[in-house]
Amino acid sequence: MTPEEQTEFRRRQKSRNMMLGGVLVFFAILFYAITIVRIGD
């Protein structure tokens, strides 16, 4: 892998990790909210 490819590899890896992290946080909040609503049912 050339240095340019290495840099691009890292950039994509990082942006994917950030996106995945965001999605996980979103679902954690959503599941929490669903649980609170369901407890009230």
Partner 1 sequence: MTTAAPINTPALPADWRDFYALTKPRVMSLVIFTGLCGLLAAPGSINPIIGFTAILCIALGAGGAATLNQWWEADLDAGMKRTAGRPIPAGRMKPTDARDFGIALSVGSVLIMGLGVGWLAASILLVSIIYYAVIYTIWLKPRTPQNIVIGGGAGAFPPMIGWVAVTGDITLMPVLLFAIIFMWTPPHFWALALFIKSDYAKVGIPMMPVVRGQVSTRRQIFVYSLLLVPVAAAPWFIGGTGAIYGVTALVLSLIFLALSVSVATRISADGDAMKPEKRMFAFSIIYLFALFAALVVDRVAAYQGFVT
Q: Interface residues with partner 1 (CB under 8 A)?
A: 1, 5, 8-9, 12-13, 15-16, 19, 30-31, 33-34, 37-38
Q: In whole angstroms, what is the distance from residue 29 CA to residue 40 CA?
A: 17
Q: In whole angstroms, what is the distance from residue 19 CA to residue 11 CA?
A: 12
User: Least distance (Å) from partner 1 to the CB of residue 8?
Assistant: 6
User: Least distance (Å) from partner 1 to the CB of residue 40?
Assistant: 8
Q: In whole angstroms, what is the distance from residue 8 CA to residue 4 CA?
A: 6
User: Least distance (Å) from partner 1 to the CB of residue 18?
Assistant: 8
